[in-house]
Structure 1
């Protein structure tokens, strides 16, 4: 994983190219490369993961120098693709996936993308045809931004690397206004800087030497629904097979592996799968130095899951590093982290950045994490309620859905035969059906989506429609962006086994019952991975989530800093905030009213405060180091 940069039809000096690249030095601290010719620049900041020698240096040339590539990400099945290419006569000088990508592109053209299992953005310049091919992975795990100034093209892994080349820099105030109403803007092409656009996930493009761009969508999950076994038990077996293979190929690395472990189902399943894989044989290029778990703890808050994480590491017999995040960072560090993050989110990313800093400090450069499972396989209890119309008035199924919903909120398992449960079930069921059928009567879809016109959309049940939107349009794209920034700020590569395209296909090919079987959220994951995990973790019903306890922090370690900021003239005069005085009043409310919720602290205080921090850190570059 690295940082890439480039221009087309835009002559810049090597010094200017290096200035752009070095704004992403955190993405690639192990070296850099720049290639330039006739108004084309390709740049690369390297984080060495595969083939640590100079043979892995980028930009990389191939076919006697006809092609040049800059690449960010990983193609996990590169070994299998390389073998097929070698059987066709291709030769390789390195042991990298980068060289395999170029050869695959030469052999199969755009169709090579269908063969890749991984996460990526890359640009290949054909010196003979004077054209560039750019691609972003299926789900946008790796970021890519692009600016077009009258045919002068610049692109990079982060916005900050493009900004030195802009004729002007305008804050996208309209997007900020929309963000404050709905924080999920990652699947829009608009960015917080008006002159920069987001290159969309699952798209590729051809760009000629004059800067003309031809965009093409190469991936839509709805085009790839697969046949699945009819029996739930067979579906579980198939999921297990896919997940273990996904973890196996993501353990291919020439540097140390680890896991950011929460003690929840997803991260626990991931590290337990790693342990199981290492008990097998013939693990091609899999690194056996994987026994490194890193746990963020929040002592004295509802977000602390230390005891669950310890159960997992004790079960596996491995050591773990516990990081108690209870101290504030300095104002300068807060600005720096805001600069590195460069986007907006409703809660601070400090805990996530800190945990990856610890991984880096302890020599772990690749982290296999559990992101994506909640959105794909129904991990959030509020999503479970979207299955109620799918139950078709079968009360046994309704009970299982409601049970999945209520049990996530309490350590005590619900008694479906109790009058208390039935009363709650009836209220929730009626409320949700009124909403569902009310929308249908009004001619509105039960689930809003830009995919409703696709023939396969109509075949999805209501739960899977809701999860599809979360996966492709709202929640997950935002989380993928966040974790890319959080990990790369510390020069650590995240790999996500649940985001293997085969598991994404599978998720929307099975029905809702396979995700809520027997009243459990993510039931197919639980039943598939239970043989390798502590049973209490596999079938733990409560869910906490990895969040900063921002309401607690406002009253303790960040109280003085936030108060100083809000008392400053710069904050009171920040025109990105509609009413700074009200934000200050809301902050006082958090301090003095113990009944104020976590959500209130996020949306009414942090969400506004970060606008000031973002402008200071990113636009005015006070966070740059």
Structure 2
């Protein structure tokens, strides 16, 4: 993992370029404390801060080939296989890591190379011959990349705080999109909560050249393969093999790799597979909470003992969360509507203190295997919409929300009325899966001053969402549509960014996510819904494939 920065401006001289790019990089040293690199061309400055993980001696950036210059943040996990394929075509290599593989892949295939990469990445690639810059981002938005527009100038950075160093620029809230972020925990499309700054969307690349408007191309979309589900036995075999191979690829590193262990099944399975493939004893890290209602340290310790890892716990209480909240907001770069990122900031700090740069996690299993309550809620709504007089309703809602029986305040039963009345009325809406989150977050609109002229408009929000849907969206099942929306809103815009990348990289720790191998995501997307959510049993396939974990 690394930090990248760039300035595309034909009016700047070399001295002006260097002064600005160095200031930008100074804000990104936490992403890459192991070295700096600079590159200059007419109208271009590129900078890179390095977190050395692969090819420790030879992977310095920006890396230059005969035609291209690359500043790159992330990992291409199948770089060994791609390197062999490219070498068979006669391309020569002078390093052993994945950075040069990207350069040679573009020499061989151009932008079509992106579809061949199995990884998490964001990079800018300068074409020295055509004086054209390409900015690309991985399929699911694991790694960040932002673009600032200032007249004819374009600036690029891994984090928006780098733009704060530019003379005459100050980040200003874009109030409508800040309001949108409050409702969805993300902004739609390429927008951010700041004016004039956009995010390169996941699964796309953008092309910039002087005198022309920028061009965006999508090279990947969730569910684009239009696959078919195998039978259950074949699905179990395929899923197990793909997840095992995903972990194998994500263990590729020239530095030690650890595991984050939450105590739940997602990270436990990844840790189990790590133990089967690692020859050496490895470290596991967990958060334990002083508040017993949230603490899962018993399960964490049990799993660590089973795999015989060196297990390290970070004990977190409310004072620790309060003390680190300001740091989490600074590194998160966007409003945080809950404190969940703070313990991850504290854990990553502990991980780095132990000398670890890379950690595997269980992120995204909830999205691809229907692990969130929203999947169960939608399944019940679908049942109720067909059988409005069913006597099973009370039993089902008690199974869905077992905690309701502990409430004595009648206002709590507004949740039940919301299901029985409000959501059933909009169930046929193609975006009904967003209703619950939008409804719950609507209270945040009260924090916006009336002078901003903002008001909650569900219709406008949903219409804007529809603009970003793929053509085959309406051919999917209700739960598949929910998965797409979860991955394009909550996952990419919050869990992988302000709660994921930013909290780990604040301490120079790279998170790796085996459940986000695109081969796995695409296959599982088209598995039958009941393989993933059997009755109300979530992540059924994962539990059945790894019942020994």
Q: TM-score, normalised by structure 2?
A: 0.84
Task: Indicate the residue corresponding to 2:524 in structure 1.
Answer: 507
Whole-Å separation in 1 of the counterparts to 2:347 and 2:530: 35
CA displacement, residues 253-305 of structure 1 (integer Å, 9 cap, x when unaligned): 00111111110111111111111233xxxxxxxxx556211111112331110
Whole-Å separation in 2 of the counterparts to 1:430 and 1:193: 37
- Contact 1:52-1:254 at 8 Å conserved across structures: yes
| Alignment match of 2:31 (pick from 8, 19, 27) | 27
Matched, 1:472 2:473: no
For structure 2, the residue ranges without an aligned partner over 5 or more in a row are: 406-413, 434-461
| Alignment match of 1:460 (pick from 476, 483, 496) | 476
Task: Indicate the residue corresponding to 1:84 in structure 2.
Answer: 85
SS at match of 1:303: coil
Task: Indicate the residue corresponding to 1:323 in structure 2.
Answer: 314
Task: Indicate the residue corresponding to 1:41 in structure 2.
Answer: 45
Whole-Å separation in 2 of the counterparts to 1:523 and 1:300: 29
Whole-Å separation in 2 of the counterparts to 1:337 and 1:433: 38
Residue 253 and residue 475 in structure 1: after superposition, are their counterparts in 2 closer, same or farther (change >3 A)?
closer
Q: CA deviation at 1:402?
A: 7.6
1:187-586 pair list within 5 angstroms:
187-210=188-211, 212-229=213-230, 231-278=231-278, 288-289=279-280, 291-326=282-317, 328=319, 334-348=325-339, 349-388=341-380, 406=399, 409=402, 438-439=425-426, 446-447=432-433, 449-450=465-466, 454-482=470-498, 483-517=500-534, 519-531=536-548, 533=549
- Contact 1:145-1:155 at 8 Å conserved across structures: yes
Residue 331 and residue 235 in structure 1: after superposition, are their counterparts in 2 closer, same or farther (change >3 A)?
closer
- Contact 1:190-1:196 at 8 Å conserved across structures: yes
Whole-Å separation in 1 of the counterparts to 2:83 and 2:490: 35
Q: CA deviation at 1:382?
A: 3.4
Whole-Å separation in 1 of the counterparts to 2:291 and 2:482: 34
1:90-129 pair list within 5 angstroms:
90-129=91-130
Number of aligned residue pairs: give it.
502
- Contact 1:186-1:478 at 8 Å conserved across structures: no
SS at match of 2:426: helix
SS at match of 2:538: coil
CA displacement, residues 41-71 of structure 1 (integer Å, 9 cap, x when unaligned): 1110000000110x110000113xx211000
Residue 403 and residue 258 in structure 1: after superposition, are their counterparts in 2 closer, same or farther (change >3 A)?
farther
- Contact 1:468-1:508 at 8 Å conserved across structures: no
Q: Root-mean-square deviation (CA), in Å? A: 3.1
Q: CA deviation at 1:444?
A: 6.3
Residue 513 and residue 196 in structure 1: after superposition, are their counterparts in 2 closer, same or farther (change >3 A)?
same
Q: CA deviation at 1:366?
A: 0.4
Whole-Å separation in 1 of the counterparts to 2:79 and 2:529: 34
Task: Indicate the residue corresponding to 1:538 in structure 2.
Answer: none
Q: CA deviation at 1:189?
A: 2.7
Residue 176 and residue 256 in structure 1: after superposition, are their counterparts in 2 closer, same or farther (change >3 A)?
same
SS at match of 1:48: coil
Whole-Å separation in 1 of the counterparts to 2:166 and 2:179: 27
Whole-Å separation in 2 of the counterparts to 1:75 and 1:324: 34
- Higher alpha-carbon deviation: 357-366 or 379-388: 379-388
Q: CA deviation at 1:437?
A: 5.4
- Contact 1:169-1:194 at 8 Å conserved across structures: no
- Contact 1:353-1:487 at 8 Å conserved across structures: yes
Whole-Å separation in 2 of the counterparts to 1:127 and 1:488: 31
Residue 402 and residue 266 in structure 1: after superposition, are their counterparts in 2 closer, same or farther (change >3 A)?
farther
Residue 316 and residue 518 in structure 1: after superposition, are their counterparts in 2 closer, same or farther (change >3 A)?
farther
Residue 258 and residue 166 in structure 1: after superposition, are their counterparts in 2 closer, same or farther (change >3 A)?
same
CA displacement, residues 317-339 of structure 1 (integer Å, 9 cap, x when unaligned): 22210111126359996544432
Task: Indicate the residue corresponding to 1:9 in structure 2.
Answer: 9
Q: CA deviation at 1:191?
A: 2.4
Whole-Å separation in 2 of the counterparts to 1:317 and 1:71: 35
Residue 452 and residue 361 in structure 1: after superposition, are their counterparts in 2 closer, same or farther (change >3 A)?
closer
Task: Indicate the residue corresponding to 2:55 in structure 1.
Answer: 51
CA displacement, residues 132-155 of structure 1 (integer Å, 9 cap, x when unaligned): 121111111100110121111100
- Contact 1:381-1:408 at 8 Å conserved across structures: no
CA displacement, residues 409-440 of structure 1 (integer Å, 9 cap, x when unaligned): 57x9xxxxxxxxxxxxxx99997576565326
Whole-Å separation in 1 of the counterparts to 2:141 and 2:469: 22
Q: CA deviation at 1:524?
A: 1.0
- Contact 1:515-1:522 at 8 Å conserved across structures: yes
Q: CA deviation at 1:187?
A: 4.0
CA displacement, residues 562-617 of structure 1 (integer Å, 9 cap, x when unaligned): xxxxxxxxxxxxxxxxxxxxxxxxxxxxxxxxxxxxxxxxxxxxxxxxxxxxxxxx
